[in-house]
Homo-oligomer: A and B are copies of this chain.
Amino acid sequence: MEQQLQEKWNGFRELVSKIGSYNEAIGLMYWDLRTGAPRKGAETRAETIGLLSTEAFKLQTSDEMGTYLDFFAQEDHAAQLEDVDRRLVATVKQEYDQSRKIPESEFKAYTILTSKSETKWEDAKESGDFDSFEPFLTEIVATLRKFVGYWGAKDTPYDTLLDMYEPDMTVERLDAVFERLKQRLVPLAEAIAASDIRPELPFLEQVYPKEGQKAFSHFILKEMGYDFDAGRLDETVHPFATGLNPGDVRITTAYHERDVLSAAFSSLHEGGHALYEQNIDPKLTGTPLAQGTSMGIHESQSRFWENMVGRSLPFWQRYFGDLQRQFPEQLAGVTAEQFHFAANRVESSLIRIEADELTYNLHIIIRYEIEKMLFNEDLDVKKLPEVWNAKYESYLGITPPDNAAGVLQDVHWSGGAFGYFASYSLGNMYAAQIMHTLRKEMDNFDELIEQGNLLPIKQWLTDKIYRFGKSKKPSEIIFDVTGEELNPDYLADYLEHKYTSLYNLKL
């Protein structure tokens, strides 16, 4: 690198680190708010978060940043950078463009709108009254349509939104993928519904004191290689994972004494998110590359550990004894196989977050199709309940009794997060596809799990995925790991294989 370039680069890196520091502080303040910050300090805290966010935003969109980005956009300068540094520039530039292209006054108005809208949504969900929420949602959709214009529509307006959560993912590709998934999963769900085999679940009715669940969550996280020296486990109402830096990736879980499955699987889920971030190459620390590369890939790791590992039979053949030791009375006489079936029972349900591994994807496809209609076909927001209910009847065979259990169930839209839902199913598909490769390369995959030897699996994922953070795009990760593009058949194969055996199906 010539000297001028080196100096510019140092300046750019310093500015990026500074933004990273603000984000770490903001991340900690949010974590703190959710894990026991005193109620009466919340207002002052909100002001502090507001101030630091504004400072970070100012730096991110500053003319100084613009000058650096222009400099490194020049071909002869870009050519002198290493790959990972070019990716850093591109990532920062994307955020810069996204923010700078919206007129400040409109962005501010939108921030206020979504903040009000989330409160409105809470009330509407409580009462089931879609009409009171509709004007807000209509305005959010209208604003986002306008923003897409500012950002520049890709193939279709909705493509622009998808790309924000899953870079380079397109409507064309997702249409094909989801169509295929529907073709294979709807009949599978129907076959299960028609089967008369049902797991026996009396032990699920027992009370499982919190201390035992806590001990099991800690144990299982250690088993999967979660590093407690680079994280901590706390208790919250809604489980989450937050990475402040690769040396500090915290998770939370919720313990329900009447539900022995919930905390165990949410610990595995958040633990999967955390393994990803704990194992990002420390060289990327302090840059926006030190995070998961997309919502979809991130979700693939939480789902991989929760479902592909945690809901497998070998897993419970190995670990059911440990759970039983925590709850000898409650689980007396229960077998690993029975427990495994309980953790994999399928039932069409109205609520996405309560859905099983199979029907979950149908909930997502419904949301994807509706979002696409909103942005590419100008669907009127007023019609959402009607469209929603029709799709639930068609894909899941059930109709919500009211809007609270229907179109109002998720918070996402009230905050303007259109394009986000697809990530959940992408995560499932990526996870199954990655496991397919993993099984080819590690033919003792089931044995490893059955032996409780999970660390080689973590190591394989670190080598192939985790260490790169955001320095590879999601499509690159998938292609480099599996040798092909996203392919929904792996998920369908995996689910068919699992359920034909559990429900004794003939497809």
Interface residues of A (CB under 8 A from B): 17-18, 21-22, 24-25, 28-29, 32, 36-45, 47-48, 51-52, 55, 227-232, 244-245, 247-250, 285-286
Q: Smallest distance from the beta carbon of A17 to chain B beta carbons, Å?
A: 8
Contact between chains at A38 and B286 (CB < 8 Å): no
Q: Which residues of B contact A47 (CB under 8 A)?
A: 17, 21, 286
Using CB atoms, name the residue of chain B closest to A50: B21
Contact between chains at B38 and A24 (CB < 8 Å): no
Contact between chains at A38 and B285 (CB < 8 Å): no
Q: Smallest distance from the beta carbon of A258 to chain B beta carbons, Å?
A: 25
Residue among B32, B42, B52, B229 making CB contact with A21, cutoff 8 Å: B52
Contact between chains at A39 and B229 (CB < 8 Å): yes
Copies in the complex: 2
Contacts A248-B44, A285-B44, A286-B47 given; indicate if A229 touches B38 (C-beta within 8 A).
yes
Contact between chains at B45 and A24 (CB < 8 Å): yes
Using CB atoms, name the residue of chain B closest to A227: B40
Q: Which residues of B contact A38 (CB under 8 A)?
A: 228-232, 247-250
Complex: how many Å from CA A18 to CA B48? 8
Q: Which residues of B contact A17 (CB under 8 A)?
A: 47, 51
Contact between chains at B247 and A43 (CB < 8 Å): yes
Give the 8 A-B CB pairs with smallest separation, nearest first.
A41-B248, A40-B247, A41-B247, A40-B230, A21-B51, A44-B245, A21-B48, A24-B48
Q: Smallest distance from the beta carbon of A37 to chain B beta carbons, Å?
A: 7
Using CB atoms, name the residue of chain B closest to A51: B21
Complex: how many Å from CA A301 to CA B38? 22
Q: Which residues of B contact A247 (CB under 8 A)?
A: 38-44
Q: Which residues of B contact A248 (CB under 8 A)?
A: 37-38, 40-41, 44-45
Q: Smallest distance from the beta carbon of A59 to chain B beta carbons, Å?
A: 11
Complex: how many Å from CA A51 to CA B52? 12
Q: Which residues of B contact A228 (CB under 8 A)?
A: 38
Q: Smallest distance from the beta carbon of A94 to chain B beta carbons, Å?
A: 24
Contact between chains at A229 and B40 (CB < 8 Å): yes
- Beyond the given A37-B248, A38-B231, please list 8 additional residue pairs across the A-B interface where CB-CB is below 8 A: A17-B47, A21-B52, A25-B29, A32-B32, A38-B230, A38-B249, A40-B227, A55-B55
Q: Smallest distance from the beta carbon of A15 to chain B beta carbons, Å?
A: 12
Contact between chains at A230 and B25 (CB < 8 Å): no
Q: Which residues of B contact A39 (CB under 8 A)?
A: 229-230, 247
Using CB atoms, name the residue of chain B closest to A31: B32
Complex: how many Å from CA A286 to CA B231? 31
Complex: how many Å from CA A300 to CA B45? 29
Contact between chains at B36 and A48 (CB < 8 Å): no
Complex: how many Å from CA A125 to CA B32? 35
Using CB atoms, name the residue of chain B closest to A228: B38
Complex: how many Å from CA A231 to CA B39? 8
Q: Which residues of B contact A32 (CB under 8 A)?
A: 28, 32
Complex: how many Å from CA A230 to CA B42? 9
Some 16 contacts from A to B, beta carbons below 8 A apart, are: A21-B47, A21-B48, A21-B51, A24-B44, A24-B45, A25-B48, A28-B32, A32-B32, A37-B248, A38-B228, A38-B229, A38-B230, A39-B230, A40-B248, A41-B244, A45-B244
Contact between chains at B244 and A18 (CB < 8 Å): no
